[in-house]
Amino acid sequence: MNGLMKNLIQGVLSSFLTGRGGTQAALINAVISAMTQQGGGAAQGLSQMVSNFEKNGLGDIAKTWVGTGQNAQVNAEQIQQGFGMNMVQQIAQSAGLKPEQASSMLAQILPNLVDQLTPNGAIDNQAVGNLIQSVVKKMAA
């Protein structure tokens, strides 16, 4: 992985995790964990999430998060549509939240998180996957 990209992504995730209250950090951890469990493991997690948004009619929104332009805003209902209600419930349960709370919070943080994980305007599965695995291991320790 490109050292500069790795440092950038680690810095972003670190700021997301340390600069947030316990609830937001738990939610981010739950999203990262959910991404690592989707088909293909961590290396495919972000790509799979974007693909799910595309399949559920929200591809244009998710693509703005990955791209280098301005991020499209999303609301709680679109989060539920993009992830699917089962995934939202799984993420909410992992974070100790109600699905409605998790959806609302994700609507606020997910666009920027995905944007920061894709600083070059594209998903580098290996780089993002390695970083996500590293973060999950660090959180589990």
Helix, strand, coil shares of the chain, percent, nearest 5, are 75, 0, 25
Arithmetic mean of pLDDT, 103-132: 79
Question: Residue 32, Cα to own-chain centre: how many angstroms?
Answer: 6
Q: Which residue has the higher pLDDT, 35 or 52?
A: 52
Arithmetic mean of pLDDT, 81-87: 93
* 133 in Cβ contact with 11 (< 8 Å): no
Tell me the longest C-alpha to C-alpha distance in the chain: 38
Q: Which residue has the higher pLDDT, 136 or 118?
A: 118
Please state which CATH number belongs to domain 3-140.
Answer: 1.10.10.690
Tokens of 49: 């999430």
Tokens of 36: 């690592």
Q: Which residue has the higher pLDDT, 11 or 1?
A: 11
**Domain locations in the chain as residue ranges:** 3-140
Average confidence score pLDDT of the chain: 77
